[in-house]
Amino acid sequence: MLTLEPVTATVAALPRVVQAGLVLLAGGVAADVVAHLAATAEHGHGFGPAEVASHMVVFVGMVVVLLGVVIDGVRQSHPD
């Protein structure tokens, strides 16, 4: 439990948009692992719809994290 305390404190200090992006990333990675494990031979050599959807969720999560970083940087550089 002691090793989780600094991690939770660091995540809690992040902006809310970045935290939401990290949640999307984690959900997308979990969905991707499940989709790859559940893939059957009928897909052949390409990705199935579940794998493509999980990759899109990961991509959206990355965009949300970057958006949160940019918004926070602008907020800190212009403290109006």
**Residue whose pair of structure tokens reads 């999307």 in the numeric block:** 24
Task: Tell me whether residue 1 is in a domain.
Answer: no
pLDDT at position 80 over 70: no
Task: Tell me whether residue 34 is in a domain.
Answer: yes
Q: What gap in Å lies between CA 32 and CA 4, rounded to an integer? A: 25
Angle among Cα 68, 36, 66 to the nearest 5 degrees reads: 10
pLDDT at position 56 over 70: yes
Q: pLDDT value at position 41?
A: 52
**Residue whose pair of structure tokens reads 């959807």 in the numeric block:** 53
* C-alpha 12: how far from chain center: 16
Task: Tell me whether residue 2 is in a domain.
Answer: no
Whether residue 65 contacts residue 22, with contact meaning beta carbons closer than 8 Å, is answered with yes
Range of the domain at 28: 8-77
Q: pLDDT value at position 61?
A: 96
pLDDT at position 1 over 70: no
Q: How many structural domains comprise the chain?
A: 1
Using pLDDT thresholds of 50, 70 and 90, give the confidence band for residue 11.
Answer: confident
Could you tell me the pTM of the whole model?
A: 0.81
